[in-house]
Amino acid sequence: MPTRRLMPDVIKNQDLSCLPPDATVRNAALLMAERRIAAVLVTEGRMLRGIVTERDMTVRVVAAGLDPAVTPLSAVMTADPDTLEPSASALAALDLMERHHYRHLPIAVDGEAVGMVSIRDLFAVVRAHLEDEIRSREAYMFGSGYSAEATAG
């Protein structure tokens, strides 16, 4: 299998969801709800400053008793998060995310946010790889004309 790169193989044409550090947690929650996402990049211009996830909001805001309407993202974000470059492999992202228990990982070039990969994005790559492997092994074992449809009936 060829190495799948984060960009463009895993994610393409991504509309980044970013807010500045002085935006409130409520602003982030509203953006997440509107876009049906679970993480927001915290940026100044395009420069990545941090990331805020649903988990951060639960632990650092709700459980801590902070008011989301006035709490700035800078107070609850993960500052200077780990990142990978677009040319990094899907496997490198999966490894980093598994080691640190991340569900979202920013993609950056020289500190500039260019994307974000989620565990769900990587699951789709793993699944496609496994399906390709199964097809390849079936073709090897049964010949290229074999298919489940041909034997059903």
- Domains of the chain are 16-143 (3.10.580.10)
Q: What is the mean pLDDT of each run of 10 residues along the chain (153 residues)?
A: 78 91 98 97 96 97 98 98 94 93 96 94 77 71 60 51
CA atoms of 57 and 29, how far apart (whole Å): 8
Can you give the pTM of this predicted structure?
Answer: 0.80
Using DSSP bridges, classify how beta strands 112-118 and 104-109 pair: parallel, antiparallel or unpaired.
antiparallel
What is the reported pLDDT for 149? 56
* Half-sphere exposure of residue 115: CA atoms within 13 angstroms, side-chain side: 21
CA atoms of 134 and 72, how far apart (whole Å): 49
What is the reported pLDDT for 70? 98
CA atoms of 153 and 150, how far apart (whole Å): 8
Is 81:106 a contact under the CB 8 Å cutoff? yes
Which H/E stretch holds residue 23? none
In three-state form (DSSP H/G/I as H, E/B as E, the rest C), the secondary structure along 66-80 is CCCCCCEHHHHCEEC
What is the reported pLDDT for 123? 82
